[in-house]
Structure 1
């Protein structure tokens, strides 16, 4: 016999918009750095879910920016090239993980991140 699956609850209209914006913030962070998360962080302070994701994306973007500068300095001794590769891969992976968590209505914390904005 088949066990009937319980109906999946549909998110409310406001939650769907916040979820979509959170996903776009994480995807935008891959290509545009801190700009999408900063814009949404400054404009949408009324939604706690969205504020949490934009805060984490902004912290992650700042961490990547600091890593880029450190890698630029270390490039002179040829270690920085490896740093650039690590930053590119980790930025892609963590931003995609954040987008997936946002689509599942879950919070996300990047494992290695400077938490400057609280």
Structure 2
């Protein structure tokens, strides 16, 4: 006697042969009978009809015709992205000094961190230059004509510092955290430090 119940009359009997082998002398799944090549393949071991041979092309590491996609982007270690994010966040919280320290510590060891620390400093210096130019243009006429109406133009660099300063530094921190290079627009970030 066996421990198994008898099969239902509508079901086929269980197959006790090796896994992947067809019952009753049939070839394994996916193979054609009589030693022919597998279904969908051309005779002689060639790839399937209408498809290119597999693998990279002989001429180089990547060709979009072969379908395995472009090479992966250069990944930066977690330490590099952390220092790059700190260059922007430190600039938001404290000012110019954290980006300057990170730049001098990492400038010879990490080009990624160096780029982002330099960009953070360049952004701050650019906004300072914008402020000084507007002050140099507005203050002398205000003093000469003894009217503070000329000082209203100081509102422009203040708004620029308030809005563009925060927006670009946060955007730079996010992009550097993802390991990406992101260049600020030149008007807001002159490339003085490289």
Report the Cα distance in structure 2 between the residues aligned to 1:98 and 1:37, rounded to whole angstroms. 13
Q: Check the 8 A contact 2:127/2:157 in 1, yes or no.
A: no
Deviation at 1:106, TM superposition (A): 0.4
- Output the TM-score relative to the length of structure 2: 0.50
Matches within 5 A, 1:31-50: 31-45=93-107, 46-50=109-113
Q: Hey, which of these two has a bigger chunk of helix by percent?
A: 1
What TM-score results when the alignment is normalised by the length of structure 1?
0.79
Aligned with 2:77: secondary structure?
helix
**In 1: Cα distance, 2:163 partner to 2:95 partner:** 14
* Greater gyration radius: 2
Shift of 1:36: 1.0
Corresponding residue number in structure 1 for 2:65: none
Q: Cα distance, 1:82 vs. partner?
A: 2.7
CA displacement at 1:83 relative to structure 2: 2.2
- Alignment of 1:65 onto 2:128: yes
Which is further off, 88-97 or 31-40?
31-40
Q: How many residues align?
A: 106
How many angstroms does 1:96 deviate by?
Answer: 0.5
Distance in structure 1 (CA, Å) of the matches to 2:95 and 2:128: 8
- Is 2:153 aligned against 1:79? yes
User: What residue in structure 1 maps to residue 79 of structure 2?
Assistant: 17
Structure 2 gap ranges (5+): 1-74, 143-149
SS at match of 1:50: helix
- CA distance in structure 2 between the aligned counterparts of 1:103 and 1:89, rounded to whole angstroms: 21
Say whether the 8 Å CA contact 1:70–1:80 is kept in structure 2. Answer: no
**1:56–1:108 contact (8 Å) kept in structure 2:** no
How far apart are 1:22 and its partner, in Å? 0.9
Unaligned 5+ runs, structure 1: 1-11
